[in-house]
Homo-oligomer: A and B are copies of this chain.
Amino acid sequence: MTQLKKQFISKPILVRYGETDQMGIVHHSNYLRYFEVARLEWLTALGVSYTSMEQHGILMPVIDANLSYKTSAFFEDSLIVHIQLEEIPRVKIKFSYEIKNQKDQVVCLGHTSLAFLNAETRKPMRCPDNFSALFED
C-alpha cells in the first residue's frame, strides 16, 4: 500500500503592511492567500511547476474552503504554514492547514478542496496519475 508524503512546512511568510486593515490586524481574506502560497511552494518542492501544469492544460481552482481564526496576526509577524494532504487525490485534492506565528501560537486553521479542470473545456477531470504520484513515498 502506498504511503502519502503528507506534510510540508512553508518558508516563513512575513506579514506585509498592506495586508493589515484598520483593526490593526491581518485582514481575514489574506489567510486564503497564505494557504495558496504554501500549497504552491509544496508543489515546487516536489519538482512541479504549477505554471507548467496550467500550460499543459490543467487548472486547479479552489472549490471549497474553511477557516477558523484562532488569534490575530500582525504586521511583521512571521507566519509558518503547516500543510497536510488529507487523502489520495482523485477528482479533487484536499489540504488542511495550520498557521503558526513566531511565538508558536496557532493563528489560523483551515481546509481547502481543489478540483482538477481541463483548461480547454473547463470541465472536471481526474487527478493525473503523475500528479498524485508526487505525494506518494
Contact = CB atoms under 8 A, between A and B. Distances in A.
B66 A61 contact: no
Nearest to A74: B51
Given A16-B36, A17-B27, A18-B21, 6 more contacts: A16-B37, A22-B22, A22-B75, A40-B76, A44-B76, A65-B66
B21 A21 contact: yes
Nearest to A35: B29
Interface in A21-37: 21-25, 27-30, 32-33, 36-37
Given A16-B37, A29-B33, A22 B54 contact: yes
A100 to B, nearest CB: 18
Contact of A17 (B30, B40, B76): B40
Given A16-B36, A21-B21, A64 B61 contact: no
A62 interface: yes
Please provide the 4 A-B residue pairs with the shortest distance between their CB atoms, ordered closest to farther.
Answer: A66-B66, A20-B22, A29-B32, A28-B62
A51 B75 contact: yes
Contacts of A30: 29
A67 interface: yes
Contacts of A36: 16-18, 29
